[in-house]
Each structure stands twice: as structure tokens, then as C-alpha cells.
Amino acid sequence: MLTVLCLCAATADLKALNALRPLKEDHLAVAKPLAPKPPGFLGAAYSACGLAATASWVKVVTHTIRSNAPPGAMMPSSTHGVFARTSVLSAVPLIASAFATLAAASDYSSDTCRRLNLALVAAGIGSALWVGFAPRITQIPGSDPVASHWQPVSGVTRAALIGSYGASAALSAAVWVGSLPEDVRKRPFLWPGRIADGVSKSLVSLAPASADDPVQVKYSLLSTTMIFFTVMPILSPFPFAVCPSWTGRRCSRAFPAWTLLAAASAYNLKEAAESGKLLTDEACRTLSKGLTAFGALYLSAKVGAIFIDPSFPVHYKIVTQVPAWQLAASASIGLTLRPDKP
């Protein structure tokens, strides 16, 4: 309910924000007006949606990665579930840093905010759809009777999960639309083309401006590989779909929502490194900390699974079928631990 109220109020705040938008300068302008500070409630709306999205992801993970999902299934060891959950809960710092950056933003028309908003729209819609079709997505092939890792939840819980993801997507979409130039904002049929143009521009700009700058190279590689490991689990069959989540059919096709967010964050940091503001901009520091925490949690889960979980490798059959891809995913995410200073 809090998320819905924040979303409604944020819509009204967007109208106020658009009214305050500075007029375009012309040849008669003598001074550039200061950029207005967005209404504070918009920041509160992002904070509420961020908390709701985080809580929803935690619920999805703990509901699917547990014993008796399906009934009768048991975790092979006491540590197996711990490391499996940690592997995908590593997305929590990513979610928090993205929403925190947007909550504190002063200019939602910046490229950084627009990319984050679009990534959250995609992540929210994708996550809501996953919850809606979870019984089929997590279905165990060949089970008789048909069994699924996603056990039935109450209608209220299901609605809350879908609603929280949907509210996050709706807020980000509304802010993105509000950040558009007025002539584009009033013509919705132009929006898909604008999104396509922005995505295309980002894709052809993935290479670092300077291959001699290790920080630019770091974020360039992270952006590229996170895009790859977003597409791979969605379009590839198992065992390839288990990269990079290590969660079998439980959360493998839900995790790409957050690797997409990692790709958007990394690309923003790549541009910041190229412009020289990576170490001075507060938003960049927030996104960088989120990526670093993501990498630390993810890699700690892998170390624990291999060296502490006594059920490895016997109960990691899908994972051990594609060792090269798993190593590539871990090496890529390991780049998050490299400091931002050259």
C-alpha cells in the first residue's frame, strides 16, 4: 500500500518537476537558469519502491530455494541452500544502489538516470511476469505428477509480489517519460524509437575510450559481459541457463533482471570514468559500491559452494556440465572487486 501511495504522489510531483524544467536557451538568453531540485517526495517514492522490490526478491529467493520445494525434496546439506541463496541475493546491493542513486538525483533527464530508469522498468516487468508464470518456469521436467520448485502462495502474497515489481516499473517509466523533451513526451509513438536509439548508441559504445585506462576497461568488460549473462539464461536451454546464478531451475531465469541492472550501472560508471567524474560524483560512488558488494557476495557464495559445501560437486550436476561458462561468469563478476583508482 505504501508503494502505491508513493507512486500516486510521485506522479503529481512529476507534473511539478516538468513545470519547473528550464526553458531551452536561445540566442537572446543571457544566463542559463539553475537546474531545479526535484520535489522531495519523488525521492521517497524511489526509496519505498526500492524497499518493496528488495523484499520481493528476497521472498522469491527464499520461497524457491528451500527444502520441500517441491514437497519431499530436501537440501543435500545444511550449507547447500545457504550458498545457493547467497549467490542470487547478491543482487540486493545492486537494487539498493540503483534506487538510492535515483532517490538522490537532482536531474532525471541525465543519461545516468534515464538508463537506470529503463533498466528498472525492464527488471520490474520481467520480475512480475516471472512471478506470474513461476509454476511453469520452475517446473521439473519429467516429474509425475507434475512438480515445480515454486510452491503455491496465497493470492495476497502473489499480488504483493507482482504489485511491488509493477509499481517500481511504473514509477521508473513515469519518471523516464517526464524527463523527455516536451515535444517527444506528448507523442508516445516516438518513445519506442527513442529507447531503441539509446540502446543502440550504448551497444556501439561499449568499448572503452582508452584501452590504456584499466578502470575504463574494467567497466567496459563488465557492461559487455553482464549483457551477455542477461541474455544467456533467458534464451539458452539448461545447463547453459544456469550461468551465472548456480540455482538450477529455481531462480536461473529470474536472476537476469538484476544482471541487466548491473550492466546499466557498469555502463554509467564506464562513461563516468571516461569523463573524469568517477571518483568525485556521489551517484557514481553509490553505484560503484553496489557493484562491488554484488561481486563480493556472489564470489563468496561460489567459494563457499566449492570449498565448504560437502555436497559439491555431486549435487551440482547442472553447474558442473558447463565449467568453462561458470568460470567465465565468475571471472567477469570478479572485475567488480578491482578498485576504481587506476
Of 30-34, 65-69, 286-290, 336-340, least confident by mean pLDDT is 30-34
Contacts for 305-309 with beta carbons within 8 Å, 24 or more apart? Answer: 305/83, 305/84, 305/87, 305/246, 308/79, 308/83, 309/77, 309/79, 309/80, 309/83
Q: Would you say residue 223 has pLDDT above 50?
A: yes
223 within domain boundaries: yes
The mean pLDDT value for 101-114 works out to 95
Domain range enclosing 222: 2-16+38-337
Percent of the chain with pLDDT strictly greater than 90:
85
- Of 16-25, 107-116, 306-315, the poorest mean pLDDT is in 16-25
Quick check: is 205 in a domain? yes
User: How many domains does the chain divide into?
Assistant: 1
Residue 86 counted as domain residue:
yes
Q: Is residue 73 domain-resident?
A: yes
Is 27 a residue whose pLDDT tops 50?
Answer: no
Does residue 191 lie in a domain region?
A: yes
- Say how many C-beta atoms besides its own lie within 10 A of residue 267's C-beta: 25
**Model pLDDT, residue 143:** 84
Q: Answer whether residue 281 is part of any domain.
A: yes
Cβ burial, residue 200 (10 Å; 0-12/13-18/19+):
exposed
C-alpha cell at 329: 561468469
Identify the pLDDT of residue 212: 96
Between CA 146 and CA 155 the distance in angstroms is 21
29 part of a folded domain: no
Place of cell 537532482: 106
Are the C-beta atoms of residues 107 and 35 closer than 8 Å to each other? yes
Q: What is the pLDDT of residue 313?
A: 96
C-alpha cell at 66: 528451500
Grade residue 39 by pLDDT with cuts at 50, 70 and 90: low
Instruction: Residue 90: name the closest of 334, 299, 332 by CA.
Output: 299
CA distance 14 to 16: 5
Q: Is residue 22 part of a domain?
A: no
- Report the predicted TM-score, pTM, of the whole model to 2 decimal places: 0.89
Q: What is the mean pLDDT of the chain?
A: 90
